[in-house]
Amino acid sequence: MDVIVAGDRADLVKAKDTLGAGTLALVPTMGALHEGHRSLIRLAREHAKHIAVSVFVNPLQFGPSEDFSRYPRTFEADLEVCAEEGVGVVFAPSADEMYLPDRQVGVSSGAMGTIVEGASRPGHFDGVLTVVLKLLNLVQPDVAVFGQKDAQQLAMIRRMVADLDVPVSIVGAPTVREPDGLALSSRNRYLSTRERTTALSLSQALAAGAAETVPSRVLAAAKAVLKGATRLDPPLLLDYVELVDPLTFQPVDDAHQGEALLVVAAKVGNTRLIDNTPILPM
Ligand code: AMP
């Protein structure tokens, strides 16, 4: 069956009717689909009979000086990807369809939304959680799939589902990388050849950190690589590198037991990149 495109709520209801009975998985995206998104769709297939992909560049999660207007929009190509992957419905609402002009109420991401990535992007996680809750309410899937690439986003969505009793199962998906280690991202297309070389320092720093197990040494190893990258041309402009608890995103010290997450964010040229890797205890 061809993929059904739903642009508004009424289309979505009809599309779900056409799909018929059986479990439904939602893969929320901002479009500009790549192999990472494909891997989420394939994982969704293991959890449900039907798959819905949402394509919506959510204005609420972008800060005033961020790249909302220049975020890549490749809708026709996205539809082809979805058709190839056997997606049943693509929900692609306009901003006017999603948000009332006099919108008042949104989800608060709490203190966890103000640390690490949230400290660099004030309001970002409130915007993410608000749109994700709305998408879950509109699509009403049994399962929703999110990438570990955006680790704090995934952790915050799990918190929202627990804190607000949202009736959905959240599935996390591993990060898909280029053969040289660069994590796939819709924003990678902005990188020039030289910028891309600098951008590789992110995954290289994570690999250096992951070769250690004691938290202070993990961080020191990652920081050494990132420091070297600030001297490249073009330089890496480090935003943060932290070793955190994967559930709370609080920093961990050498007394920490169990898994930790090494998270990094940096700019190369005008492009902001994030990445992370789990650090397993010895
Ligand atoms: P985005 O379109 O960037 O908002 O991403 C949509 C979903 O794809 C999110 O759940 C992301 O975490 C996930 N995603 C983005 N990049 C990757 C990747 N390289 N590997 C796996 N999942 C990814």
Confidence of residue 252 (pLDDT cuts 50, 70, 90): very high
The verdict on whether residue 32 carries a ligand-binding annotation is yes
> Ligand 1 centroid to 254 CA: how many Å?
31
37 is catalytic: yes
Residue 147: CB within 6 Å of ligand 1?
yes
CATH of 186-277 among 3.30.1300.10, 3.60.20.10, 3.50.50.60, 3.30.2130.10: 3.30.1300.10
Domain ranges across the chain: 4-173, 186-277
Cβ of residue 152 lying under 6 Å from some atom of ligand 1:
no
Instruction: Establish whether residue 184 lines the binding site of ligand 1, counting it when its CB lies within 6 angstroms of any ligand atom.
Output: yes
pLDDT value at residue 18: 98
pLDDT tens digits, residue range 186-226? 999 999 999 999 999 999 999 999 999 999 999 999 999 99
Average pLDDT over residues 150-163: 98
pTM: 0.98
Three-state SS across the chain? CCCEEECCHHHHHHHHHHHCCCCEEEEEECCCCCHHHHHHHHHHHHHCCEEEEEECCCHHHCCCCCCCCCCCCCHHHHHHHHHHCCCCEEECCCHHHHCCCCCCCCCCCCHHHHCCHHHHCCCHHHHHHHHHHHHHHHHCCCEEEEEHHHHHHHHHHHHHHHHCCCCCEEEEECCCECCCCCECCHHHHHCCHHHHHHHHHHHHHHHHHHCCCCHHHHHHHHHHHHHHHCCCCCCEEEEEEEEECCCCCCECCCCCCCCEEEEEEEEECCEEEEEEEEECCC
CATH architecture, range 4-173: 3-Layer(aba) Sandwich (3.40)
Ligand 1 mutation pick, 30, 33, 35, 37, max ligand atoms within 8 A of CB? 37
Q: Is 57 in the pocket of ligand 1 (CB under 6 A)?
A: no
